[in-house]
Structure 1
Amino acid sequence: MISNEPLRIALIAGEHSGDILGAGLIKALKQHYPNATFEGIGGPRMLAEGFKTHFQMEELAVMGVFEVLPKLFRLLSIKKQIVQRFIANPPDIFIGIDAPDFNLRVEKLLKAAGIKTVHYVSPSVWAWREKRVFKVAEATNLVLALLPFEKAFYDKHNIPCAFVGHTLADELPLEDEQTASRALFDLSATDKVLAVLPGSRGSEVTLLSEPYIQAVLLLKAEIPKLKVLVPLVNEKRKEEFLAVATKLNAEEIFTFVDGKSREVMTAADAVLLASGTAALECMLLKRPMVVGYKLKALTYHLVTRLFKFNIEHFSLPNLLAGKQLVPELLQNDLTPENLAATLKPLLEEDQTALKQTFYEMHKSLRLDASKQAALAVSNVIENKHD
């Protein structure tokens, strides 16, 4: 169905992965509403689709209790301003993309003011503090879930939810494209290549760079010809990582790449990365990986003391599989020695069986997610959802 109504559609994305989802959704919504305008908070990919941002997306890209505190007043100010703007001039629908700590608060206020709201990317209510699901219901007319087990969770609680698949599963090829990617970086078919992705947030790069770099130094001692590529999302993240590498006298062993994380992962034999969307992307690229993550010590202490977790794994490949397919090293287990020990077999042993498992998982998520999400949003706009 195509409508020529000049709709105003508001969206907020809080980080790089949300920007990717937002751009795909905007593009798909234009097929339903060619005269629609799009505004809110977004990143460069959304801007490229004609989106108007009222604040810089980077301002929302913080996580962890103590990491948020220094920026709390600014975050509250942004929330107040954006809510006032949309209540004073209501959009036809508001879509919060991920960033649940920020977006659900915005959605709740807008929904109370009579504005239809959708939350794209389920918060991890299935993992911890399960009763938060009712706060999600209070804030939204519909949740768009990327993963099948999330849809089942919402159905159990009778909360409107649509499983749309994942845009990355649609974008990435089912077949391996390593040869072409290696050519981009002057790598041969016989080179041993490790990709290192320390995260897209400043707090992640700050905490993860040192153990990651120390692990690479250990690996280089055992695999001297190992080539190590580090794609970083922007110059600021590069400066943060390079500062740690320089401190450890290790800057010469890395090849830095501006962006192009997808191509770097495809070129690699194995990948070391932070948790999150990057782990899913790595799985879809059929690359063996080690997922290593940590929070600031006090943040981790508070989180684990205050909240009960209902999951055995924290990386998306393992959550999707319902078992451990890839090694996970969290907090105190994230040591250079552990990282090196789990990466070494991925670089030296045959991983065909794991890659085939990733292939089958890829197919299960390939649903044309942006199209499915746009259809679900249009149903809310047209009052086909509560």
Structure 2
Amino acid sequence: MSQILRVALVAGEASGDILGAGLMRALKSQHPAVEFIGVGGPLMQAEGLTSYFPMERLSVMGLVEVLGRLPELLARRKRLIRTLIDAKPDVFIGIDAPDFNLDLELKLRQAGIKTVHYVSPSVWAWRQKRVLKIRDACDLMLTLFPFEAQFYVEKNVPVCFVGHPLADAIPLEADRQAARAALGLPKDGQVVALMPGSRGGEVARLGGLFLDAAERLRAMRPGVHFLLPCANAERRQQLEALLAGRNLPLSLLNGRSHDALAACDAVLIASGTATLEALLYKRPMVVAYRVASLTYRILKRLVKSPYISLPNLLAQRLLVPELIQDEATADALAQKLSPLLDGGHAQTEGFDAIHRTLRQDASNTAATAVLALIETR
């Protein structure tokens, strides 16, 4: 393929901007002439994307917030469909943001444009009928995890497992002593990272609980020190209020979650993407999850998966403890966490095997799959 390729991409949030930028770099390295159009953030724009409007206009979370912005989102998607059909890209790549991108992909594919969706929605866990829409909308699904690819194979959706960029970026063996030195911690002594989430609602539900669990654990292991990364200034303020009146040996960090994971011996963590990062750093963990009681009752009926945390989904077995809703008490969390400070080897051996499976040179693997799709025209 020596001609100029026109590649359209749409990312809706920061994580998609990171994935998109990596994919764009890989495409440029594999093809001599390529131009990029669509919607992306600063990282994708730095790689050469002409963004039709700011990515932040698609970054909206929560039902009420989405409803309030729905007219704008629908209007933007309608205009974007017309613009991209007129631009006739060789391929369109929707990066995550399935509620926005799948409808966009469907219209573009109906207009004869090849379509790729990068990052599978959680159809294997709930709302499985979405796979029918995905089958109609996508010429190719790129998945980060192997169990997702198996699901699509069973549903007759063209799929390529590309691995996870974090697995490529994080070393197979992190330097604990260097991380402790960077954080001003002593070389010896047991260190526990507390990671109750990056959103205000998560911290409201789990922040106080994790600090209660830390107090219980300190009573069991008096020499333990705690690390608590704050996602942003708002979360730091929220956590400082929760720490008032407590006497915990704790370092409150501005960001630096990867340093905290590298430095610690074990992690108490909210279910979510951060559990993958803890896995890749080979740090034994206890996973907790709490939502509003009505939300929990609804999700319990909808979710088909036996596990909620990525380590267990990837292992396809109960590798890490999951304490959900009422089971997530301070005493229970401390009791599960304490023995992990002695090594947690059963977990870390499983983590190492998963890390090696996910190390697929994700961006280049994804780029190769996209270029192969273009060649099938």
Distance 1:249 1:27, change over 3 A: same
Per the alignment, residue 369 of structure 1 pairs with: 362
Per the alignment, residue 240 of structure 1 pairs with: 235
> For residues 201 and 4 of structure 1, what CA distance do their matches in structure 2 show?
45
Q: Tell me the amino acid that sits aligned with residue 252 of structure 2.
A: F
Counterpart of 1:98 (choices 91, 96, 99) is: 96
Matched-pair contact (CA < 8 Å) for 2:41–2:54: no
Q: Offset at 1:127?
A: 1.9
Matched-pair contact (CA < 8 Å) for 2:11–2:55: no
Q: Offset at 1:352?
A: 2.7
Q: Offset at 1:12?
A: 2.6
Q: Tell me the amino acid that sits aligned with residue 147 of structure 2.
A: F
Counterpart of 1:289 (choices 276, 285, 288) is: 285
1:184-205 C-alpha deviation (Å, 9 max, x unpaired):
1012221322223333445434
> For residues 152 and 104 of structure 2, what CA distance do their matches in structure 1 show?
21
Counterpart of 2:180 (choices 179, 182, 187) is: 182
Distance 1:89 1:299, change over 3 A: farther
Helix, strand or coil: the match of 2:54?
A: strand
> For residues 162 and 81 of structure 2, what CA distance do their matches in structure 1 show?
27
Q: Offset at 1:337?
A: 3.4
Counterpart of 1:320 (choices 314, 317, 328) is: 314
Counterpart of 1:278 (choices 274, 278, 288) is: 274
Per the alignment, residue 27 of structure 1 pairs with: 25
| Counterpart mapping for 1:4-153 below 5 A | 5=4, 7-53=5-51, 54-57=53-56, 59-63=58-62, 65-66=63-64, 68-153=66-151
Distance 1:111 1:360, change over 3 A: same
Q: Tell me the amino acid that sits aligned with residue 279 of structure 2.
A: M
Helix, strand or coil: the match of 1:94?
A: strand
Q: Tell me the amino acid that sits aligned with residue 174 of structure 1.
A: L
Q: Offset at 1:144?
A: 0.6
Distance 1:246 1:111, change over 3 A: same
Per the alignment, residue 372 of structure 2 pairs with: 379
Matched-pair contact (CA < 8 Å) for 2:312–2:319: yes
Give the superposed CA RMSD.
2.8
Helix, strand or coil: the match of 1:124?
A: coil
Q: Tell me the amino acid that sits aligned with residue 62 of structure 1.
A: M
The 10-residue stretch of structure 1 (199-208 or 314-323) with the greater mean CA deviation from structure 2: 199-208
Counterpart of 1:209 (choices 200, 204, 207) is: 207
Distance 1:98 1:332, change over 3 A: farther
> For residues 15 and 118 of structure 2, what CA distance do their matches in structure 1 show?
12
> For residues 369 and 123 of structure 2, what CA distance do their matches in structure 1 show?
21
- Consecutive unaligned residues of structure 1, counting only runs of 5 or more, are none
> For residues 313 and 329 of structure 2, what CA distance do their matches in structure 1 show?
23
> For residues 55 and 127 of structure 1, what CA distance do their matches in structure 2 show?
31
Q: Offset at 1:302?
A: 3.2
Distance 1:13 1:300, change over 3 A: farther
Matched-pair contact (CA < 8 Å) for 1:151–1:163: yes
The answer to whether residue 244 in structure 2 is matched with residue 249 in structure 1 is yes
Matched-pair contact (CA < 8 Å) for 2:143–2:163: yes
Distance 1:296 1:20, change over 3 A: farther
The 10-residue stretch of structure 1 (69-78 or 139-148) with the greater mean CA deviation from structure 2: 69-78
Q: Percent identity?
A: 47
Structure 1 runs (4+) greater than 6 angstroms displaced: none
Matched-pair contact (CA < 8 Å) for 1:79–1:106: yes
Counterpart of 1:262 (choices 255, 258, 262) is: 258
Helix, strand or coil: the match of 2:244?
A: coil
Q: Tell me the amino acid that sits aligned with residue 369 of structure 1.
A: A
The 10-residue stretch of structure 1 (93-102 or 177-186) with the greater mean CA deviation from structure 2: 93-102
Distance 1:329 1:171, change over 3 A: same
Counterpart of 1:335 (choices 317, 329, 332) is: 329
Q: Offset at 1:250?
A: 5.9
User: What's the TM-score once normalised by structure 2's chain length?
Assistant: 0.88
Distance 1:255 1:204, change over 3 A: same
The 10-residue stretch of structure 1 (133-142 or 329-338) with the greater mean CA deviation from structure 2: 329-338
Helix, strand or coil: the match of 1:183?
A: helix
1:117-156 C-alpha deviation (Å, 9 max, x unpaired):
1111122222223332111111111001122222222112
Q: Tell me the amino acid that sits aligned with residue 292 of structure 1.
A: A
Matched-pair contact (CA < 8 Å) for 1:67–1:203: no
Helix, strand or coil: the match of 2:217?
A: helix
Q: Offset at 1:266?
A: 1.0
> For residues 165 and 273 of structure 1, what CA distance do their matches in structure 2 show?
23
1:48-67 C-alpha deviation (Å, 9 max, x unpaired):
4344442234852525x456
Helix, strand or coil: the match of 1:173?
A: coil
Per the alignment, residue 311 of structure 1 pairs with: 305
Distance 1:156 1:59, change over 3 A: closer
